[in-house]
Amino acid sequence: MNTDRHGFVLRSAVLAAVLLVITSAASGQAPTAKPLAPNVVEHKFNSKLMGRDMPYRVILPAGYTDAKATSRHPVIYLLHGLTGHFNNWTDSTKVEEYALASKFIIVTPEGDNGWYTDSVTKATDKYESYIVKELIPEIEAKYRVIADRDNRMIAGLSMGGYGATKFGLKYPEMFSIIGAFSGALGAASFTEKNAATAGRGIDSIMGAEDAESRKANDIFKLVRELTPERIKALPFIYQSCGTEDFLIQNNREFMMLLVERKVPHEYRQHPGVHNWVFWDDQIREFLQVAERRMKK
């Protein structure tokens, strides 16, 4: 990607960040909590990296709890967005119903407003490391998952779409498929100067604009610097965004970069905005895509 195009990506990301601040309270937060479905279990585990208990929910496929069940299942880690929490997916979508019709165990971690990144200013805010190094082993010890790359996937919405994409790029040996729905993919370019509240939070997490910690979390940079060998090792990327979403241009720019670098992916856009109607539809679609790709 040339310098002019990258500049356009950053300008698009800045506009997206400003609008994200304005709309996140209305569209990113979950509605009133609903009772847990029979196939949803809530847990906490003590994270040494975070220095506190971290909650998460597990959504089980049909038959998992049958007395004689011994089958093992692929697992999807499903990340929430900015201003959200681990319970958003089950409170705001029909994901528990979709899981019953699938073979997947789905895990929804807590990410707070941490951008799924290890903070450079708070020693116990390690939202990347705790998921990769603690939560995944926790799940693989507690549940009957198939603990290998081919059967481990990660996806998310908005901030979570950024997080899932970054995890797939940084840890390709861990995940076979990643999904980003309305992804805030330009997160590493957000600062207090250009994106107010959202940018201030990222300044605290990723450091100054020219810091190495910024560069390490810039997914555009990560893709631009991929070697041919690294591209072959990447997970398959599923990316989607609504055509009326304020993040659409940022998503299109990232898709164009994937095309330029010949990164295996599927990109979808159709009428929709930055809300739970779109994300409910997309998790259903992602489960179908994951099922289909696992049969190949």
pLDDT per residue as tens digits for the range 130-180: 999 999 999 999 999 999 999 999 999 999 999 999 999 999 999 999 999
Return d(Cα 255, Cα 253) in angstroms, integer. 5
- pLDDT, residue 275, reads 96
- Within 161-255, strands assigned E span 177-181, 236-242
Tokens of 84: 């959200």
The residue with greater pLDDT, 11 or 232, is 232
The confidence score (pLDDT) of residue 86 equals 98
Q: CA 78, CA 82: separation in Å to the nearest integer?
A: 14
Phi-psi region of 51 (alpha: psi -120 to 50; beta: other; left: phi over 0): left
Whether 164 and 180 have beta carbons less than 8 Å apart is answered as yes
Query: What angle do the packed helices 248-261 and 3-27 form, to 10 degrees?
Result: 140
* Listed residue (110, 157, 130, 114) closest to 47, CA to CA: 130
Q: Which of 8-22, 78-92, 157-171, 225-239 has the lowest average pLDDT?
A: 8-22
User: In the prediction, which pLDDT does 199 show?
Assistant: 84
pLDDT in tens, 46-79: 999 999 999 999 999 999 999 999 999 999 999 9
Give pLDDT, residue 194.
75
Q: How far is CA 109 from CA 58, 136, 172, 241, in A?
A: 9, 10, 20, 22
Mean pLDDT of the chain: 91
Report how far residue 287's alpha carbon sits from residue 266's, in angstroms, rounded to the nearest whole number: 14
Ramachandran angles phi, psi of 89, nearest 5°: -60, -40
Q: Tokens 């200013």 label which residue?
A: 121
Given strand 236-242, what is the order of strands in its sheet? 40-47, 52-59, 105-109, 75-79, 152-157, 177-181, 236-242, 265-270
Length reported for the chain: 296
**Ordered structural domains, the chain, with CATH:** 3-28+38-294 (3.40.50.1820)
H or E stretch covering 268: strand 265-270
270 forms beta bridges with 242
Mean of pLDDT values over 199-227: 95
In percent, how much of the chain has pLDDT > 70?
Answer: 89
> Any alpha helices (H) in 101-191, and if so which ranges?
129, 136-142, 159-170
Cβ neighbour number for residue 43 with a 10 Å cutoff? 15
In this predicted structure, what is the pLDDT of residue 33?
Answer: 83
Paired strand residues for 152: 75
* Rounded mean pLDDT, 80-108: 97
